Amino acid sequence: MDQAKKNTFLEIFHSAPELLSSAPGRINIIGEHTDYNNGYVLPAAIHLRTSFLTAARPGSRVRIWAENFREEETFDLEAIDPSHGKCWANYVKGIFWVLQKEGHKLSGMDAMIWGAVPLESGLSSSAALEVCVIKGICALLAIDLPALEMAKLAQRAENEFVGVKCGLMDQFISVFGRKDSALFLDCETLDYSYHPLNLEKAGLSILVYDTKVPRKLAASEYNRRRQESTQALEVLKKKGIRSYKEATTALLEVCRGEMDPIPYRRARHVITENERVRRAVESLQKDDFPGLGELLFHSHESLRDDYEVSCPELDLLYDVGKGYPGCLGARLVGAGFGGSGIALLEKRTGEGFRKRLLAEAKKRGFPGPEFYEIAIGQGAAVSSV
């Protein structure tokens, strides 16, 4: 615990902090647009974290200081309303709101938040914030909340208070992440298992490539993709399957004549992506990183051609990666239409790979991308201070 943060807390609130909670951002190694289709994903927590330093105070007032923004928000537990000028505050308020909705008795507190997870970079800074806040509140007020319930309530806060209809994956991995491991998650049953991600031993790293392209189309097109993939699933269900997890490409071909071309392509992505996640788990079990890398390239191709959520800036990562010695695989991550991608690299080639991407982006008139080298970190944690 940084003494400087304790001192800042003391200066702002004129009292000492009692506990510190923190939670990580995440990468999704593979399994894109499969979560809301009740399929498989393979995320991992990262070393970059968001922290919540807090102490109880009398009454029902809550004071929050956001160190990154140098802003304060104060509200009363008896009247929690969304903030209009401070987006970050709604993710915090939403946690207090959802805990009260669930019948938990809360009391006033002072808190300071700060984070190293870059905003709007596809590393799920929002889930990291939600999870560290719910973890901290529960520890401070002795609320006995199971880990899965924490993840679900954090998701509900984002869905219902903030108004973002996210799936559960981001909050789930922020709670359950394990150092140097990926987490295989069945988004329908919530069954999960850990698999080693021995990057250091293999001399590899994961590089996040933030295109700096705002995802302007992502919301409307995301909803359209959900509708199209659901439409295709309804046709497949007539053949006796229950979900995409039971579908095969052979069954899809049987049904092709009963589908419009677009829903057919959306279904092909979901079916093949689920299979890629399963194969990625097998690769990790054997430390077969070249095999994992190939799956990343295939995932991007499917997202580009069948799900149609890529853009020229994201395709640049794939194009450079395919031809660059030392890049084992690369793909877009998240909703698409901008945002970020990841590349699996031999560490020794990382600097040259970044320079190549910067040069190519400049040549094509793209925004200057930013890069983050990721280590695989631990899930949410809490400690007294």
> Which of 35, 110, 170, 210 is an active site residue?
170
Spatial distance between the Cα atoms of 266 and 225, rounded to a whole number of angstroms: 7
Distance between CA atoms of residues 331 and 209, nearest Å: 10
Return d(Cα 345, Cα 199) in angstroms, integer: 10
Helix, strand, or coil (residue 296)? helix
In sequence order, which ranges of 121-260 are alpha helices (DSSP H)? 125-140, 147-156, 169-176, 199-202, 218-237, 249-255
**Could you read off the pLDDT tens digit of each residue along the chain, which spans 385 residues?**
689 999 999 999 999 999 999 999 999 999 999 999 999 999 999 999 999 999 999 999 999 999 999 999 999 999 999 998 898 999 999 999 999 999 999 999 999 999 999 887 778 899 999 999 999 999 999 999 999 999 999 999 999 999 887 889 999 999 999 999 999 999 999 999 999 999 999 999 999 999 998 877 666 788 899 999 999 999 999 999 999 999 999 999 999 999 999 999 999 999 999 999 999 999 999 999 999 999 999 999 999 999 999 999 999 999 999 999 999 999 999 888 888 999 999 999 999 999 999 999 999 999 999 999 999 999 999 999 9
Domains of the chain: 3-197+377-384 (3.30.230.10), 199-374 (3.30.70.890)
* Amino acid identity for residue 183 in this structure: L
Interval 292-312: pLDDT, tens? 999 999 999 999 999 999 999
- Spatial CB neighbours of 189, under 8 Å, sequence gap ≥ 6: none
- For residue 87, what is the DSSP state? H
Summarised one tens digit per residue, pLDDT across range 120-172 is 777 889 999 999 999 999 999 999 999 999 999 999 999 999 988 788 999 99
DSSP structure string for 90-158: HHHHHHHHHHHHTT-----EEEEEEE-SPTTSSS-HHHHHHHHHHHHHHHHTT----HHHHHHHHHHII
Q: What is the pLDDT of residue 220?
A: 77
Asked if 170 is an active-site residue, the reply is yes
What is the model's pLDDT at position 300?
98
Model pTM score = 0.93
pLDDT score for 166: 81
pLDDT value for 214:
82
